[in-house]
Structure formats: structure tokens, C-alpha cells
């Protein structure tokens, strides 16, 4: 069973990964437990960048598509 410190650490690793992607104008679009892995040192990484998309100014920083796993998508996306 995980304690609160481990949960905060794992969540923080995922948030740093997302922050890095966003700082490079990349939207991940499929955040779910199955798309994160923990290495032997305890660091968490996002995997499966197949649905990620780079946002560009010529497309007004929009994706124009809805992609993700339905059970993990926000209700307002539907």
C-alpha cells in the first residue's frame, strides 16, 4: 500500500512531464494509469506518445480533433 508521500511524488513526476511537454507546445491527450511506468529507481515516465500533438500558431494552437480514452476523458469533451 502506498503512503501519501509516494502518491505526491508520483503525481509530481507526471505533472513535471506534462509541464515539459506543454512548454514545448505539445499536448499529451491520453493521460491514464496505463500510460505511465515506474523505473527501477522509482521515477515515473509517461509512455505512448502516439496521441500527442504539437500545437502550432498557424493552426491557432488547436488540435481540431478529439482523441483519448473515453473512460478518462473529461465530460465536457464529449
pTM of the model: 0.77
**Residues in Cβ contact with 7 at an 8 Å cutoff, skipping those fewer than 6 apart:** none
Q: What confidence category does residue 62 fall into, taking pLDDT thresholds of 50, 70 and 90? A: confident
Active site residue 48: no
Cβ contact 37:68 at 8 Å? no
Residues 6+ apart with CB under 8 A from 24: 54
pLDDT in tens, 2-55: 799 999 999 999 999 999 999 999 999 888 999 999 999 999 999 999 888 898
The active-site residue, picked from 5, 30, 48, 58, is 30
Amino acid at each position: 500500500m502506498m503512503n501519501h508521500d509516494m502518491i505526491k511524488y508520483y503525481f509530481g513526476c507526471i505533472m513535471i512531464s506534462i509541464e515539459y511537454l506543454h512548454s514545448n507546445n505539445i499536448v499529451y491527450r491520453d493521460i491514464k494509469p496505463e500510460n505511465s511506468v515506474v523505473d527501477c529507481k522509482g521515477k515515473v515516465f509517461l509512455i505512448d506518445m502516439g496521441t500527442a500533438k504539437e500545437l502550432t500558431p498557424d493552426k491557432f494552437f488547436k488540435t481540431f480533433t478529439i482523441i483519448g480514452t473515453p473512460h478518462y476523458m473529461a465530460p465536457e469533451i464529449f
